[in-house]
Structures are given as structure tokens and as C-alpha cells.
Amino acid sequence: MTETTQGARPSSDSQEISEVFRGSADGSTKLKPKGTVKGIEAASIPAFVAGEELADLGDHDQRIVVLTADLAGASRTADFQARHPARFFNLGIAEQNMMSVAAGLASTGLRPYVSTFAAYAGLLCCEQIRTDLAYPGMPVGILAHHSGMSLGYYGTSHHSLEDLSVTRAIAGLTVVSVADANQLRAILRASLSLTGPIYIRLGRGRDPEVYPEVPADFAFGRAIRLAEGSDLTLITHGAEVRPCLDAAEALGRDGIGVRVVDMHTISDIDATEVFAAAKETGAILTVEEHNITGGMGSAVAETLLEAGVMTRFLRAGVPDEHVLLGPPAGLYAHYELDAAGVEARARRFLSA
Amino acid sequence: MATAVCNAAPIPARGTAERAQLVDLLRVKAKLSRRETVRLTRIAGAGHYTSTFSAAELFAAIYYARLRYSPSDPDWLDRDRFILSKGHAAIGLYPLLADVGFFDPIELDDYTRLGSMFGDHPDMRKIPGIDFSSGSLGHGLSIGLGMALAARISGRAYRTYCMLGDGELGEGQVWEAVMAAGQFRVGRLIAIIDRNQLSIDGPTEELMGVEPIEDKFEAFRWRVNRIDGHDLDAILDAFTDLDDNADALPQLIVADTVKGRGVRRMELDKNWHVGNLVGEDYDDVMAEIDGGLQPLLAEVGK
């Protein structure tokens, strides 16, 4: 295992993990406990803007309600609680109850957003999501934070490397993966016009910037082409978008033209963009922080094969195993999901 | 247009002529629920007779005496909510929803047929009058808690009723909801447990004991009342006794019932959880239901 921490991810993994449950690193939140942790840089959890964005939306939209299951700090939904305390409920460590409570709230015309670790949102609660949210079409937003293996050495119990496979099989559920703070804001705004539930897969809140401002033209099911090239397309989502962009840049310096596509909507793969990638670049490497079985890569493969489109194709992700124990940066390096790893895998793929 | 609200008037006091009339009406409606359960089951080829029969008096009292709703405006925002968390008893509820006017009773003839509104478990998107889809045991009370919290946020005065089975208490999510309802003190959330003594594989206390139910709920900060769930006067008294304060403790009515009540061959017989009556058996059972509730075989000696 390579102990590299290069790439765009911060190096202080242990410190990051240790602050998950406090959730407040920028000093601006009222939740910050007395006796703060030294050495944490200000504004070091830039992507966790859901609480703040929902609070802003909630200033004008009285239907918005926010719920958490004892993770108000970790999800920063406390930012909503601070501004709209009457429309915030902390259900304690009882995630399945929280999902169904949200269903009851939504049935009266409210717009609830629930938040918990993706491992519990997408896996523990998948039946409540199916039966109480998707089947009756309840417009509930599920903030599934700390997805993938971003909780590092917390281990498999806290990882969600199967959640996309599970959630994308649920009819009537929009499934999106979020790359950064600005995209999250756009998704939250767009989610208010949905008539059914949405599973919003979030990283660990430290995801580096991809979108310098809130994308004005965000639309579910419409992928975003972030880099252009003619030799290979990296189709990716969520926390892998930034490493893919960095890898594309590195490959570009060697004359390898790489297209990068943010396939943010997993439940509604943008087939046009997939076909264009096959036709115009002749090679597709899907990259995601997920088990390679059943995730976005599988969805892209289904899209291609059913249309009879043949192209060079490879899925990058976590192999079908329970991952090693280690800090996040170490895990991303080991599984070639950091920028250097994506670059190396792309070179092997193209030279094979 | 003013919404025509059912059960807007208070329940008449015990001992009055109005009360006696109401109880007579409810008795007729409980028979309707049982008769239609038998008829619709024959359409489907199999059905949950016994889980429905235990709840027949409760269904009648809820829909003809207590719940405030408007059949001409099923989505009326201020209506009381009813969640049938034990969704497999829906076959006994559909006929009452038709009878009060949510839809034409002739629709029931399509029960469980391909493309029908009516499945074994109720779908709120298909059936007017169903406040939430159910079927997966353990979910209903959480959904009811959400509805009750919504009333608090929105400043509405409706009550939320949720009927659970006794075997359903084995689902862990029930206790998550019980705990949370006590924490949030949602007085207008009312749980009703159809304590019919049996789950699929046998008596609950032999299989997975649920007693003492009152102690458990009281420990979780609920107010509990326990009644004979086939005694219509007792059910009406329990409704009258509910605390209507929105910040009161959440309230539970444990209704002691008999699985299969009203058809003696089915009483407390686990083999009738799912069944299908045909021929003479069908006619005999219909006649028995028409005769009204008789003393339990267990009480008169088999």
C-alpha cells in the first residue's frame, strides 16, 4: 500500500476524522464546543453547506423541515437548526424512524430533508426509502453524507460502497452524487421542484472545489462536461470529479487528451453524453468511490450495451471486497482513486 | 365551499338514546366490514380474515364516530389522519371507505384484480381515503409521528390515529417511534393496538411475548388505556377519554380483541390467518356474521 497523500485531498486525515462528530471547524458555528481543537484551519469543511443553504431557502419557504439522527454537527444541519429551530428535529440514533417520520411530514405538504451517514441512509434505511418515500412519492431530500469510504479507518460499518447500487434500483427515487459545495447548492435548489424523493450522496465535507460558482443551468439527468479531449473519457461523479480533472490535466501534459464528464445523476444516466464519449473518444473509464458492482459504471455499461454501442470500457472503483483499514487518503491511494491513481490506471487502460 | 365533515359532533354520552343508536349503527357497520371481507376474499382467492375480524368494531367506531374527514375532499388538510400500520387488514377497511362515500362500492368488485385500486395492502396513491400506504409492519407509527409533528409546525389541530397489530410490536422501528413520540410529547398522536393475541405462527406470548404492553409504553412516556376491543361502548368511552391537548403525552389504546372474532371456527385459530371460504362454508359464515357477535366458544365451552 502506498502511503502517498498527494493530490487535492488534505493530508490531515486523522484530524479530519476526529472532528467528524463535532462537525464545526470554521469557528463560525454556534455548535463549536468549548475547548476547540488546535490546528484545524478555518473554513476547512467547505462542502457541508446543506444546513446553511436549506436555512436560506427556508427563510422564504416555510415548507422546509430538516431532520437528523444525532449528527446535527457532523452534517452541519445545525446551521438550519440555529435559524429555524421549530422546523428542525433531532430524532436521536434511530435512522429508520427518521425516514418514516419524514414521510409523514411530507404527506402533509412539507418538504423534509433528512441527514445521516450514507451507510445508514442508503443501506440501513433502504426499505424505508423504498416503501415510505419512493412508493408513495414523498418529496423528501436524503442528505447521505460521509459516503463511500470517506470515513476511512472507521471501517466497513461506516462505509457506503454499495448505496448507489441499492438506491438506483428503487423506482421513483432520484439519485445524485455531489462534487462540491456549489453543486450541492444547485441540487438543493433544484430538489424543491421534484415531486418525489431524492437521495443526495455527499462526501465528507472537505471535497475540493470543482464548480467556482453555483451552476445556474443544473438539471437532473444532464451530465456536465468539465474537460475536453479526444483520446479518453473519464465518466465520474461526486468526490472523484476533482481527482479526475487533476488526472486529465496531468495526462494532457503528456499529449493525452482526456474528456471529463460529471455524471451526477445516477438514477437517470445521460445516455447522449455516454454515446458521445464512445463515438468521439473511443474509450471510457468510469471512476467512482463505490463498489464496481452496480454503481454508475455498471449503469454506463448497461446504457452502452443496450444501445449496441461498442467501445473500450473499464470500470474503476473499489473492487468487490471490504476495504483495507486506513485513513482516507491512504485508501484513495491504495485503490487508485486519487489523482495519481486515476492517472496511472488511465495510462494502463490506454496502453493495454 | 364548506367542507362536509364526518363525525364533527362529539360522541354522545353513555346511557343516552343517541348513544344506543350510535352503537347499533356501529354494530351494523362492523358486520359490513366482516361480510365484505368474506366476499372480497373469494374474489382474490385468499385473504386475511382473522386479522380483519379482530379490528371490525374498531374500524366501525373510528370511521362512524370519531375520525373527522370529508369523503368529498379526501385531501382536506385539516382532516384527522388514520394509518393502518397493520396494512393486511385493509380488506376490512375498504368497504367502510366505500360506505362513507370515498368511492363507489362497485369498485370493490375489482379487489386484487390486475390493475385494481385495491391490493392486500393499501396504496394511498390509488385509494381515496387512505392517508398513507402501508404493508411493511413497523413503519406506521413513525409516519403518524411525522404527521403529528407536521400539525404542530403548521398550527393545525387534527389528530393522527395509527392502528398496529400486536405481533407488529416485534419490529424495532415501532419502539424508535414510541420513544420519539414520548420525547416530543405529541398528544394528538393516538396509537391503537389490535391485541388479537396471535401472529402468523401462533400466540404472541409463546412466540415473542409483547406483554406487559401498558408498562412498556408508560415507561416510554405514553398515556395508556386498555379496553375490550369488541365492546363498542368501551371503544367510544376510550375515544371520549382522550386528552386533546397537543402537548399531552402521546396516547395508546390497547384493544383486547380476539383474532377471528365473529366467526367461531376462526377464533384464535392460527390456521385461518390466510384462507378462502367456498360453497356451504361461505354461506354458513355469512349467516353467522349476520347473527352478530356471540359468546366466545372458549367462554361457553367447546
d(C-alpha A37, C-alpha A299), whole Å: 42
3-state SS class at A163:
helix
pLDDT at B218 over 70: yes
Nearest to B143 by CA among B161, B157, B128: B161
Give me the mean pLDDT over the B69-95 stretch. 97
pLDDT mean across residues, chain B = 96
* pLDDT at residue A25 in the model: 37
Read off the pLDDT band of A29 (50, 70, 90).
Answer: very low
CA angle, B169 as apex, B249 and A108 as ends, to 5°? Answer: 55
CATH label of the domain that carries residue B268? 3.40.50.970
Cβ distance A135 to B214 under 8 Å?
no
Q: Which helix (H) or strand (E) holds B198?
A: strand B198-199
Q: Is residue B47 part of a domain?
A: yes
Give me the mean pLDDT over the B166-183 stretch. 98
pLDDT digits (tens, 9 = 90+) for A287-330: 999 999 999 999 999 999 999 999 999 999 999 999 999 999 99
pLDDT mean across residues, chain A = 90
Q: Is residue B181 part of a domain?
A: yes
pLDDT at A133 over 70: yes
Count of the separate structural domains present in chain B: 1
Instruction: Kindly list the structural domains of chain A, giving each domain's residue range(s) and its CATH number in brackets, ordered by start.
Output: 13-201 (3.40.50.970), 224-351 (3.40.50.920)
Q: Name the percent of chain B lying above pLDDT 70.
A: 98
Cell of B152: 404542530
**For A27, left (φ over 0), alpha (ψ -120 to 50), or beta?**
left
d(C-alpha B235, C-alpha A114), whole Å: 37
* pLDDT at residue A36 in the model: 36
- Length of chain A, in residues: 352
pLDDT digits (tens, 9 = 90+) for A136-176: 999 999 999 999 999 999 999 999 999 999 999 999 999 99
Query: What strand order describes the sheet that includes A141-145?
Result: A88-90, A64-68, A111-117, A141-145, A198-201, A174-177
Q: Is residue B8 part of a domain?
A: no
d(C-alpha A186, C-alpha A200), whole Å: 12
pLDDT at B228 over 70: yes
- Taking the CA of residue B89 and the nearest CA in chain A, the distance in Å comes to 18
For A103, which of B146, B179, B180 is closest by C-beta distance?
Answer: B146
A136 lies within 8 A of chain B by CB: yes
Q: Which ranges in A24-93 belong to alpha helices (H)? A: 50-60, 78-83
* pLDDT at residue A32 in the model: 37
Give me the mean pLDDT over the A43-68 stretch. 87
Q: Is residue B253 part of a domain?
A: yes
pLDDT digits (tens, 9 = 90+) for A213-248: 999 999 999 999 999 999 999 999 999 999 999 999
**Which residues of A, range 89-128, sit inside 8 Å of B by Cβ?**
89, 91-92, 94, 96-97, 99-110, 112, 127-128
3-state SS class at B155:
coil
- Taking the CA of residue B172 and the nearest CA in chain A, the distance in Å comes to 9
pLDDT at B58 over 90: yes
Strands (E), chain A: 64-68, 88-90, 111-117, 141-145, 174-177, 198-201, 224-227, 232-236, 258-262, 283-291, 312-318
Give me the mean pLDDT over the A105-113 stretch. 98
Write out chain B residues lying below 8 Å of A99, CB-based.
142
pLDDT at A19 over 70: no
Q: What is the largest CA-CA distance in chain A?
A: 61
Residue A111: closest C-alpha in chain B = B150
- Taking the CA of residue B149 and the nearest CA in chain A, the distance in Å comes to 7
CB contact under 8 A, A104 and B149: yes
Lowest mean pLDDT among A83-97, A104-118, A203-217: A203-217
Residue B162: closest C-alpha in chain A = A104
Lowest mean pLDDT among B2-11, B129-138, B158-167, B197-206: B2-11
Q: Is residue B203 part of a domain?
A: yes
d(C-alpha A46, C-alpha A28), whole Å: 12
* pLDDT at residue B137 in the model: 98
CA angle, B172 as apex, B171 and B174 as ends, to 5°? Answer: 75
CB contact under 8 A, A128 and B139: yes
* pLDDT at residue B27 in the model: 98
Best mutation target among B124, B139, B154, B158 (most A Cβ atoms within 10 Å) is B139
Nearest to A311 by CA among A283, A285, A271: A283
* pLDDT at residue A46 in the model: 56
Q: Is residue B59 part of a domain?
A: yes
Beta strand A258-262 with A224-227 is: antiparallel
pLDDT at A41 over 60: no
Q: Is residue B143 part of a domain?
A: yes
Cβ distance B130 to B50 under 8 Å?
no
Give me the mean pLDDT over the A166-192 stretch. 97
- Taking the CA of residue A63 and the nearest CA in chain B, the distance in Å comes to 9
Give me the mean pLDDT over the A247-273 stretch. 98
Best mutation target among B124, B126, B176, B183 (most A Cβ atoms within 10 Å) is B176
pTM comes to: 0.93
Range of B120's domain?
17-300
Write out chain B residues lying below 8 Å of A105, CB-based.
146-147, 149-150, 153
Q: Is residue B4 part of a domain?
A: no
Write out chain A residues lying below 8 Å of B145, CB-based.
97, 101, 104
d(C-alpha A69, C-alpha A115), whole Å: 7
* pLDDT at residue A17 in the model: 59
Give me the mean pLDDT over the B134-154 stretch. 98
